[in-house]
Amino acid sequence: MPRNANCRDRVFGRGRWVPFLTTTALVAASCFSGRAAAAPPEPPNRTLQIYFVDVEGGQATLFVTPEKESLLIDTGWPDNGGRDADRIVSAAKLAGLSRIDYVLLTHYHMDHTGGVPQLVERIPVGAFIDHGPIREPGDKPTEDAWEAYQKVLAGKKVKRIVAKVGDTLPLKGLHAEVVSGDGVLLSKPLHGAGEPNPACATTEKRATDQTENARSLGTIFRFGKVRLLDLGDLTWDKELEMVCPDNLLGRVDVFIVSHHGWYQSNSPALLAAIAPRISIMDNGETKGGTPSTWEIVAHAPRLEDLWQVHYSKDGGAAHNVPDARIANLMGTDAGNYLKLTVSPDGRLEVFNSRTKEAKQYAAPM
């Protein structure tokens, strides 16, 4: 049977999933649907949708539950005429939202918190979630981002939630547990985790990071059988506290690559521990996507595919995924997004808004 014949029946837009007809899931899982629609495909009911908004090397990740409850992780950069806020609002509109229920700020660096004032000018926000006080005083851009955020909290009287490790975020359709925050890390294994991690022995040890990065709020999400991990810009040294000598996190299905794929994060011990099926990297053309880090992420055990928000100039031909899995190619500033659709039983789909194509992944056996 031609490869595309299998793929056509498995498009989300048809509202059904047909079991693979090929003899191996691996072959079937690598087929692309070839739709040319302008908007992402309409998923069936009861899916979690996650938009990876292009904020040029910062973070802005929008989670939308089946009940249309929403959580935005980070707000991108300030300035640029509100470019990042505009892109976030566009994604929110595509998702049918007229407000964002929660905005979680992983930490106060400009590429995460800088976009707060412009965002609240454009769309109502129900509450902010953060890790507590700024921990990098004296760094002018970070202080500026923090102060602008404080002004928004005071001026708009928006609710603020300070989250601590072990807290469950107040989302109804999505279980979200905080695993790192303000430099404090998970200290007991999550359910089903706690196995020794052999990769610790060969992973380099690094000095303690003193910046806001190490304070990042990290969250593990559970939607049906699917586990997803976002650690913001949490640094290498902090990762090891969670996965060495024992893996306290356990495996995940989806990893939002830490720190835009920069060398300061994404240790071999972390990737061996979480062993994601799919990883998505929110790098910019000249930010993140370090070749040595790309090697670790792209060759993690169990990985089916890595996706990138941008082509990485540093990566060159050897350290970028094929164009089909990149939302923004070299030299473009089109703001293309990636959209991940998660079914509770473990099926995943990634849609590339540049190519208008989607790729489906079967649930694990």
Please give the residue ranges that form the binding site for Zn ion (CB under 5 A): 111, 233
**CA–CA distances in Å: residue 49 to residues 96, 177, 222, 223:** 11, 18, 13, 11
Q: How far is the CB of 288 from Zn ion (least distance, A)?
A: 8
Closest to Zn ion by CB, 233 or 304? 233
Q: What are phi and psi for residue 135, nearest 5 degrees?
A: -120, 15
Answer yes or no: are the C-beta atoms of 365 and 19 closer than 8 Å: no
Cβ neighbour number for residue 211 with a 10 Å cutoff:
17
- Asked whether 288 and 281 are in contact (CB, 8 A), the reply is yes
Is residue 159 within 8 Å of residue 128, measured between CB atoms? Answer: yes
If the CB atoms of residues 267 and 360 are measured against Zn ion, the closer one turns out to be 267
Q: In the complex, what is the shortest distance from the CB of residue 109 to Zn ion, in angstroms, rounded to a whole number?
A: 5
Residue 340 burial (CB < 10 Å; 0-12/13-18/19+)?
buried
Q: Contact, 52 vs 337, CB < 8 A?
A: yes
Minimal distance, residue 300 CB to Zn ion, in Å: 21
Instruction: State both tokens at 283.
Output: 């790098």
Residue (92 or 110) nearer to Zn ion, CB: 110
Q: How far is the CB of 360 from Zn ion (least distance, A)?
A: 30
CB of 213 to Zn ion, least distance (A): 7
Give the residue with the Cβ less far from Zn ion, 230 or 233: 233
Cα gap 220→196, rounded to integer Å: 20
Strand, coil or helix: 118: helix
Alpha-carbon distance 342 to 215, whole Å? 28
Q: How far apart are the first and last CA of the chain?
A: 23
Please count the CA atoms within 13 angstroms of the CA of 93 that sit on its side-chain side: 9
Q: How far is the CB of 57 from Zn ion (least distance, A)?
A: 7
- For residue 69, give the amino acid letter: E
Nearer to Zn ion, 283 or 328 (CB): 283
Give the shortest CB-257-to-Zn ion separation in angstroms. 11
Nearer to Zn ion, 233 or 314 (CB): 233
**Least distance between Zn ion and beta carbon 265 (Å):** 10
Q: Are 356 and 36 in contact (CB under 8 A)?
A: yes
Which residue, 101 or 233, has its beta carbon nearer to Zn ion? 233
Pick the closer one to Zn ion by CB: 41 or 261.
261
